[in-house]
Structure 1
Amino acid sequence: MPFRSPSTALCLALLLSACGGGDAPATAADRHGHAHGEAAAAGHDGEAGDGHAEDDDDHGKGGDRTTIPADVAEASGIRVAPAGPGTLADEHEIQGLLTPVEGRVAQVAARFPGPVRQLLANVGDPVRAGQVLARVESNQSLTEYSVAAPISGVVLARNAMPGAIAAESSPLFEIADLSTLWVDLHVFGADAQHIRPGVPVTVTRLSDGATAGATLERVLPGTATASQSTVARATIDNDDGLWRPGSAVKARITVARRPVPLVVPLAALQTLDGCEVVFVRQGEEYRAHPLRLGQRDALQVQVLSGLEPGDAVVVEQSYLIKADIGKAGAAHEH
């Protein structure tokens, strides 16, 4: 997934306006100090009144802040974290297919032709190496012999019925050791040029969203005929048995990582007045900070301006802050 740099003229105008205005745009530090000053003023006014008069006036001026008591914020699940440096990942999201590991699948065949007298396993049964799966009567000796599992695993197929004639070397069962599985990822176009063995892979199970970490082991030299894709392969553990051969999965391959000086989680972003913002807590006040954003990955985004390192950014339940600001703005209009 390539990096994106979503910045617009409107967001930049809002950012400069929020930073102070005047003949020269204020710096992020100026804006930050101004915000603290206003928060302090709001605190003094609150001592003389009910604590919300200044907040209502702020909504009338810009509708970019609200006050939420600390106990209410905690009960609502609002959480903050300091903005700071981070690492952005260059990632590619790719579709894949789970397959049994080659060499861990066995065909269980009759040694001598004759009628199948007994079948002792069904599809889906776990079996161990040496376990008897069937008994067949030999046409030559007219005596029964046992057919045993050559490996431990799970029965994937049963190809015989009691009383049917088993031909010599005809497969009666198919068994696979599914404790580990291959993840065959289909890479298309130019993405194949960036993917190399040894990079980390996160595989997601589509049925329930469970994930497994792995390392890309190899990029196969050929091309898949049907899809014209390059196949990149990783191996995952299947301890819970819920990763099923033949199932489609999605995977995120991390090609490279690079440090950046200031990031925020994508979950912290909200849209206010057409601009991407985060909410910064100062005391019990939460103020919207319009941001100029840089590159991003699946989890976080680089902040170019509009925020200072250490700012207490709302990283959980930020939509509640947005809703509260909207509610307060609507009440002020009425």
Structure 2
Amino acid sequence: MNRNLLLIPLLALGLAACGDASTPAEEDHDHAEGAHAEEPARGEHGGRLLQQDGYTVELAIAEDGTPPKYQAWLYRGDKPLPATAGTVAVALTRLGGIAERHVLAPRPDGSLMANTVVGEPHSFDVVVSARIDGRDLRWSYPSYEGRTTIPAHIAQQSGLRVAPAGPGTIADEHEVQGLLTPVEGRVANVAARFPGPIRALRANVGDTVRAGQPLATVESNLSLTTYTVNAPISGVVLARNASVGSVASENSTLFEIADLSTLWVDLHVFGADAQHIRAGVPVQVTRLSDGVVAHTTLERVLPGTATASQSTVARASLSNADGLWRPGSAVKARITVEQQPARLVVPLSALQTFRDWEAVFVRVGDDYEVRPLELGKRDAQRVEVLSGLSPGDQVVVEQSYVVKADIEKSGASHDH
């Protein structure tokens, strides 16, 4: 059974083991205000009602037609007050101890609104301070979204792995197909010097031979004496075109031998991509039979196009010390045209879709929280982060979907 299919049940079982309904341990795994607590009272504008000493502040995050900003309405008893009757400030503490402050100012519509944006996720501990009719009022409460708690041993069992966000490079890469061929000039066709019957053959297809090694014995029709045909180069016998007793004609090919210690990789590049390919750039070649990867450098881009495919052929050399790269085999390759430095990158494996965001999850202690990202360039392995993370943030890079599933299960995906 695929191990990944067991991860979410394992996580659920482990979390259940943290406590039952009669123990405080369950409280440690509350994901969001409202998941196990009474939903806060809401006012006529949909905001949270904060009440004290006969005064009420209705507080909301305005998102209609504006970037998210705090908005408030003031009341004495059940009667609205003008926006100028008091002041409101909201202090937030985000996961990891990051603090921010939003001061609300009166508006013509009778509300107060901050001019500072409340960044996503809207997940923080909140302290609201107000002064109405000369009275100082204060409220504090948690307001979490996209956050969950996973004990360390459960995270380990679930395969969660984190790594710090940091600088890296984004590669301009081209995925192409290719074919392995013997290097020109390292293939020899072994011929009989004089016609006559073949008396002995001493090599078979696939044999490794050395230069000067006897390959065949032929009886000359002219002198009626035998002579030896030797290997002109060291290499592997690719073909044997003779049999004992048959007659070798003059200059007929008896064997084909190739030095396969190095092979050419002919890569087929199509269309406009060919304009970006140049000699000297790195190439990663993958053997399709077993996934083995080799790294080499592009040597040249051949003039003209391949007749059958109308592609441009880019050629690299490949060391074949183990002999497992075989001429005629298809390979896939990645040509890296350029590498651009980026201030902050994360692996593609860290990305998840959360609500309508491309996001990652960060870990602080045993807490995990979503981070919506603005992304830049990407390659086959990593993506540039333009905003949403700070260098050193501990990002979940493996099994991040487990965190996403736990947040969605808890109902903490979106709560103000």
Q: TM-score, normalised by structure 1?
A: 0.80
Identity level (%): 71
* 1:1-334 pair list within 5 angstroms: 21-22=61-62, 25=68, 33-37=93-97, 62=145, 64-329=146-411
Residue in 2 that maps onto 1:50: none
Deviations 1:138-195 (A, max 9, x none): 1122222111111111110010111111111100000001011001111121111111
CA distance in 2, matches of 1:328, 1:156: 65
CA distance in 2, matches of 1:86, 1:254: 15
CA distance in 2, matches of 1:194, 1:262: 26
CA contact (8 A) 1:32 1:308 kept: no
The residue identity in structure 1 corresponding to 2:95 is A
Q: How many residues align?
A: 290
Closer, same or farther: CA 159–275 of 1 in aligned 2, 3 Å: same
CA distance in 2, matches of 1:100, 1:80: 45
CA distance in 2, matches of 1:131, 1:84: 58
Compare the two structures and name the one with the higher helix fraction.
1
CA contact (8 A) 1:159 1:173 kept: yes
SS of residue paired to 2:95: helix
CA contact (8 A) 1:129 1:152 kept: yes
Structure 1 runs of 4+ with >6 Å offset: 38-41
**Structure 1 position 80, deviation (Å):** 1.0
The residue identity in structure 1 corresponding to 2:96 is H
Compare the two structures and name the one with the higher strand fraction.
2
CA contact (8 A) 2:94 2:124 kept: no
**Structure 1 position 202, deviation (Å):** 0.9
**Structure 1 position 325, deviation (Å):** 3.1
Q: Which has the higher contact order (CA 8 A, sep 6+)?
A: 1
The residue identity in structure 2 corresponding to 1:77 is G
**Structure 1 position 33, deviation (Å):** 4.9
Structure 1 residue ranges without an equivalent (≥5): 1-19, 42-56
The residue identity in structure 1 corresponding to 2:284 is T
Deviations 1:286-328 (A, max 9, x none): 1121222111011111112222221100112223323333444
Residue in 1 that maps onto 2:107: none
Structure 2 residue ranges without an equivalent (≥5): 1-59, 70-89, 99-122, 126-141
CA contact (8 A) 2:150 2:366 kept: yes
Closer, same or farther: CA 290–164 of 1 in aligned 2, 3 Å: same
Residue in 2 that maps onto 1:7: none
CA contact (8 A) 2:283 2:297 kept: yes
**Structure 1 position 223, deviation (Å):** 1.7
**Structure 1 position 107, deviation (Å):** 0.5
Deviations 1:62-91 (A, max 9, x none): 4x2322221232343322111122111111
CA contact (8 A) 2:92 2:124 kept: no
Closer, same or farther: CA 21–220 of 1 in aligned 2, 3 Å: farther
Q: TM-score, normalised by structure 2?
A: 0.65
The residue identity in structure 1 corresponding to 2:187 is V
CA distance in 1, matches of 2:91, 2:295: 42
